A and B are shown apart, each in its own frame.
Chain A
Amino acid sequence: MRMAKKETKMQVILAQFDGAEALLDAARGVRDAGYRKFDCHSPYPIHGMNSAMGVTRSYLGFIVGTVAAIGLLGAFYMQYWMSAVDYKVIISGKPFNSFQAFLPVVFALTVLLSAFAAFIGSMMLNRLPRHNHPLFSSANFERVTDDGFFISVESGDPKYELKKTRELLQSLGGVNVEVLET
């Protein structure tokens, strides 16, 4: 609900930079100016970009870890309940509660649920899927898959001011500055 309203009003300033080094420097500049809701776009991953942008560690790992623990205990309890409580069948003379026999399923369910948690969690933390973004209305932005290095600042940032932000990006070496709206 909140998201939908904000997205209709979203404004993005896009600036192009010379290359990977320039993009790293500019990212540090935008970070030091206090911006948080901005992103860097490049044709390939740039090492050190996370710290240059001031991105903090994602808490995805804790989501995955929690779900993995649920998968581990859940899978064990499920099998314990099925083979030692609810429907006891003697299988090759083994005890009903044979943890050895449960472990492959425990392992598989832990991994499966971890993978789900990692996938769904990263989608949610990245606010995906979304149907469109103002960036896609820029023809110049298509170069990001080829040889373009860009920084985009979103209007949702508390420090965002159209004129000031544009000047900041230009002072950091940004060219082809565009203001994009949905």
Chain B
Amino acid sequence: MMDFRENTFRLSSDRNFGKAALMVGFVGLAGCIAGFAIDRDHFFFSYLTAYAFWLTIGLGGLFFTMLHHLTNATWSVVLRRFSENVMMVLLFLAILFIPIIAGIGNLYHWSHHEIVAGDPVLKEKSLYLNTGFFIIRAVIYVGIWLFLARGLYKTSLAQDKGYAESQTERMKKLSAPGMLLFAFTVTFAAFDWLMSLDAHWYSTAFGVYIFSGSLLSALAFITLVTILLRQKGYLADLITLEHYHDLGKLLFAFTVFWGYIAFAQYFLIWYANIPEETIWYRVRWLGYRPLTLLIVFGHFVIPFVVLISRGAKRNLTVMKIMAVWLLFMHWVDLYWVVMPSHSDRPLVGLWIDIAAMLGIGGLTLWFFWRRMASQPLVPVNDPRLTASAQLISD
């Protein structure tokens, strides 16, 4: 019916976007430098929030790619290159982790010997929470992610040159242990980088909490990019309304999943009512009440009500708005996780937060867009490409 092999599916003149992203990135970086000079502590917290935002999107892309291979999915073949390009931003973000290592002293109070010496809880935890081991662990997490992402990506690009069944097999074989490693590394990275900001507090659900937001935002990002490309006239025959319907179902499902995990974490702590656990929510209720309520309604109730109907999932305008909204809420969520460790009130020094978002975001998008422009937008030699494009859901 359709012969896709004739077509290369490459972006033509849209490299401009990459340049624009790079410009925004540099402006953001300039803001970051100013923020670093004016309020060093705040800069590192802003940077960590923005870094976690873009990193979780990349990790969501890695998860979605592995999920695609493991389930042998057909419907998502047309989306595979998008999620692969999303996961490859991890390569770039690995470099951007260096400022966090430089800011360990500003971010994590467990890194100061004199504080640990006077704190019996931190003293007990110091075997795990110490600067050296923290860096070693970070290198291990990032190393595993890069190994998985590069392995999957290289095989995928080799498939564009010529198809061999062994490539598909290899990607599946990499994904199976990859999924397990992913679960461990993401959980412990969330513990190390975000949860240990308040080193007295702990929650076993925290890793899953970050993961649920991660996959949700990666799906929102993929939805947004494909819709924007569609408006420029790309891939309208391949990524059809049926695919957006399915993406909408996943966005809805992971909105519910996020809500479930977020409530489960809160609920157990509320029920047990142990001060060392409840303090985390108390701080966020006293100083950050508007943000807390915004997250409850904006991250769960509104997307739940909007995305539940079939009509909304098949309406690209609604989907685009929801994708942007969910990405914004993901940032609010991370801000709400990170910032209370630094300041009692929200939105203080917001310009540094925005500068960090623009800086890391602009550079990450530039990196993302370079890959988008240098490779075909879909895996052109995947034998299931035609079947994927002809997806019908009823």
Contact = CB atoms under 8 A, between A and B. Distances in A.
Nearest to A93: B273
A103 B268 CA distance: 12
Contacts of A48: 392, 394
Given A92-B273, A93-B273, A50 B394 contact: yes
Contacts of A61: 310
Interface of B: 263, 266-267, 270-271, 273, 310, 392, 394
A163 to B, nearest CB: 33
A51 B394 contact: yes
Contacts of A49: 394
Interface in A21-71: 47-51, 57, 61
B185 to A, nearest CB: 31
Interface residues of A, number: 14
A126 to B, nearest CB: 17
Contacts of A94: 273
Contacts of A51: 394
Nearest to B272: A92
A47 B392 contact: yes
A118 to B, nearest CB: 14
A103 B263 contact: yes
Interface of A: 47-51, 57, 61, 92-94, 100-101, 103-104
10 contacts: A47-B394, A48-B392, A49-B394, A50-B394, A51-B394, A94-B273, A100-B266, A100-B270, A100-B271, A103-B267
Q: Which of B263, B270, B394 has the most CB of A within 10 A?
A: B394
Given A92-B271, A101-B271, A103-B263, 8 more contacts: A47-B394, A48-B394, A51-B394, A61-B310, A92-B273, A93-B273, A100-B267, A100-B270
Contacts of B267: 100, 103-104
A50 B392 CA distance: 11
Nearest to A47: B392
A92 B271 CA distance: 8
A70 B270 CA distance: 27
A171 to B, nearest CB: 27
Contacts of A100: 266-267, 270-271
A173 to B, nearest CB: 22
A94 B271 CA distance: 9
Contacts of B270: 100
